Amino acid sequence: MPPRKDTDASANVPSFYGAELRFKREAAGLTLEQLAEGSFRGVPFLSQIERGERRMPLDLAQHVDKRLGTDGFFERRCEDARKAKQSGHAEYFADVAEMEKFAESIEEWAPALLPGLLQTEAYALKVIRTGSPWLRSDTVEAQVNARIARAKLWGREERPSFWAIVREELIRKPLLPSDEMAAQLEHIAQVVRSTQGVLQVLPETTVAYPLMMGMIKVMTFPDAPPVVYTEGLHSGQLIDYPALVKDYRRSYDLLRAAALPPETSLDMIEQAAEDHRNGKHRA
């Protein structure tokens, strides 16, 4: 069995409280399975909290305080961890952004917007300003910076494998001025080719297909079960229930079969970039 990887408690607030949870749990002589009993969370969820990869929700903090006799310590502090993990992201996305850093693979279906991990600053700015026009300029800037910062994982030696499927309309319609839209598409092609990722385009002629109801992101991890993330306009949900995750992954596999081959898709994106730059795009 490989040695246990201890959490660096100095890395951030969630890591500190994750390390503290492990210390107090072990001091109480409890296993993760025993601590999870009576809660609505599973062992993988608790394990990720101990590693600082997920924040502790209020209901679990209250359960942990009761089981460990910590006099409300985790309930009082879970809000601190929540704030520390936002870092410019919407609250419902904070855990997802953190989990991307530890993922072994990331698979996305993007029916409405290009995936955040592939967005340029201009595209992210347009999306955030249009979607939430009431936000203050400093909040918009923080959200754009946070979104762009997520892409730093592409520069890592041990980066996750990546697979994305996007609708053809997203590369044809000019969300940005022509030069900026061309730059966005060129950026996608460059990232996918340089990281040995896979990107497929679902052709606009395909009108019936799996996952018509909305976007999903599937993440797998080297030492934890996979999770699925789904998102609406101003909300998102992480799903780790094994049966549901299995169904989402099955639907994603069917969607792969409906999309164009990867090399054909990249050729289409590069041609669309050229069309945007030359003013030949389709409105």
Which span out of 30-44, 77-91, 225-239, 256-270 was modeled with the highest average pLDDT?
256-270
Q: How many CB atoms lie within 10 A of CB 102?
A: 18
Distance set, CA 105 to CA 17, 102, 160, 162, 228 (Å) = 26, 9, 5, 6, 12
Say how far apart CA 217 and CA 110 lie, in whole Å. 9
Q: What's the predicted TM-score (pTM) here?
A: 0.78
Please, is 40 exposed, middle or buried when counting C-beta atoms within 10 Å of its C-beta (0-12, 13-18, 19+)? exposed
Single-letter amino acid code for the residue at 66: K
Q: Is 161 helix (H, G, I), strand (E, B) or coil?
A: strand
Domains detected in the chain:
13-86 (1.10.260.40), 91-277 (3.30.870)
Predicted local distance difference test score (pLDDT) of residue 282: 64
Q: Do β-strands 105-110 and 161-167 pair in parallel, antiparallel, or remain unpaired?
A: parallel
Pairwise CA distance, residues 126 & 147, whole Å: 12
Mean pLDDT score of the chain: 89
Please provide the DSSP assignment of 80-147 as one string.
HHHHHHHTTS-GGGHHHHHHHTT-SEEEEEESSS--GGG--HHHHHHHHHHH-TTS-HHHHHHHHHHH
HSE of 227, CA atoms in CB hemisphere, 13 A: 24
Please tell me the distance from the alpha carbon of residue 174 to that of residue 126, in angstroms, as a whole number: 12
- DSSP letters along 189-238, please? HHHHHHTT-EEEEE-TT--S-TTTT--EEEEEETTEEEEEEEE-SS-EEE
3-state secondary structure of 281: coil
- What's the distance, Cα to Cα, between the start and end of the chain in Å? 58
pLDDT in tens, 130-146: 999 999 999 999 999 99
CB 220 within 8 A of CB 232: no
CA angle 247, 253, 254 (to 5 degrees): 90
Instruction: Count Cβ atoms below 10 Å from residue 271 Cβ, excluding itself.
Output: 13
Q: What length is written for the chain?
A: 283
pLDDT reported for residue 94? 84
What is the DSSP-derived secondary structure letter of residue 152? G
| Mean pLDDT, residues 62-88 | 78
CB atoms inside a 10 Å sphere around CB 60: 23
Residue 17 clears pLDDT 90, i.e. is over it: no
Listed range (84-93, 157-166, 181-190, 223-232) with the worst mean pLDDT: 84-93
pLDDT for the residue numbered 263: 98
- In sequence order, the 6+-apart residues with CB closer than 8 A to the CB of 3 are none
At 136, list the tokens.
Answer: 């203050």
pLDDT in tens, 78-118: 766 565 555 688 878 888 898 899 899 999 999 999 999 99
